[in-house]
Amino acid sequence: MKLIDGGVCAAQGFTASGVHCGIRKSRTKNDLSLIFSAVPAVAAAVYTTNLVKGAPLTVTKRHLAAAGGRARAVLCNSGNANTCNANGLEIAEQMCALAGRALDIPAEQVIVASTGVIGQMLDIAPIAAGIPALAAALSAEGSAAAAEGIMTTDTVRKEVAVEFTLAGKTCRLGGIAKGSGMIHPNMATMLVFLTTDAAISPEMLQKALSGDVKHSFNMVSVDGDTSTNDMVAVLANGLAGNPEIRGEGEDFSAFMTALNTVTIALCRALAGDGEGATKLLECRVTGAAEEQTAKTVAKSVICSSLLKAAMFGADANWGRVLCAIGYSGAAVDVGRIDVAFRSPAGEVAVCQNGAGVDFSEERAKEILLEKEIEILVCLNSGAASAAAWGCDLSYDYVKINGDYRT
């Protein structure tokens, strides 16, 4: 397996595009994106567990059910979440109908998504005006334009792809993502669109995606807020020519490895680009009695506002790590816990057996001034492990969200 260029267009048969249609006031940013498969594709998706859900999620669920877990296109706008609107479902359906006509496919084969401000009416007029140009711009080099079109407060595009082998056939899997704030998923996260030319059944694709998010997107947190519009969708068009994956085995394991490679890369990109963030944080928990304990501890540490603030200040305040473990709800023996901080500048142990140890504050600060920080927690109670990703908490987070609508 190797990393390659191309994002959502790396796999055979996929094209993408992005244009500015007028939802955003700034004409310098794309606000409408399209991904298209040359042939019908197997599709799977996971959605936010927030009881308040964007209308596009409801429409996408309907379409995948009506089309038997298959789709040809993904249409997404930024600048408006189309959530908590009286006519939201109607607008989302209209978006699919417009895309269907432009692509000459049934509207039910369109996955639709929106991101942006909640509770503001979404005008269909700019979308209707922009879709012909969006469809005409579809290109095998269009991943970057599509990745830009789904950005909100993101500061960088997020796209990745890998190449791997199934039964002697070269396959590719790639994706784009958006997400910078309101990130604390409990199923998937933000908006993520994945494409692959591997052949896999609808049941196994859904199993792969649902299983993967437990170890990837569910382990990311920027600010503790679970979005109303979170969705991860994947299309698999089978053009690589491998025997269709219909059950578990060597090929399914290889597919899962490729999927997880892409999703973890996107997780790190999302966490590192958190609103106002200056550092990517990764909490690695080892020595847990069971995996769920490790996951609970890792997520609790990465979600701690006090720890996030300490990391912003390069302060090795390890007591905040133990505090977060203590209220996580995980059954741990506090007297066995070891904690260390690691970065490209080195590693420093700060706690052993639940108690502080002598360390150089100056050396610790050097380590914590780096852009990527690992928080290493060993529970010394078993062989299970887990990782979670987040970012530091800076002054700019409040600035960004203090005037997000205006």
Distances (CA, A) of 164 to 161, 197, 261: 10, 11, 11
Decide if 115 is catalytic: no
Q: How many CB atoms lie within 10 A of CB 399?
A: 12
Q: How many Cα atoms within 13 Å fall on the side-chain side of residue 365? A: 5
Q: How many CB atoms lie within 10 A of CB 65?
A: 10
Q: ∠ at Cα 251 (248, 253), nearest 5°?
A: 65
Structure tokens at 145: 């334009």
Q: How many CB atoms lie within 10 A of CB 393?
A: 27
SS3 351: strand
Burial class (CB in 10 A: 0-12, 13-18, 19+), 272: buried
* C-beta of residue 147 within 8 angstroms of C-beta of residue 18: yes
| CA atoms of 313 and 343, how far apart (whole Å) | 15
Residue 312 host element (H or E): helix 305-312
The one catalytic residue in 15, 152, 189, 196 is 189
SS3 27: coil
Count the residues in the chain: 406
Residue 381 host element (H or E): none
Catalytic residues: 189
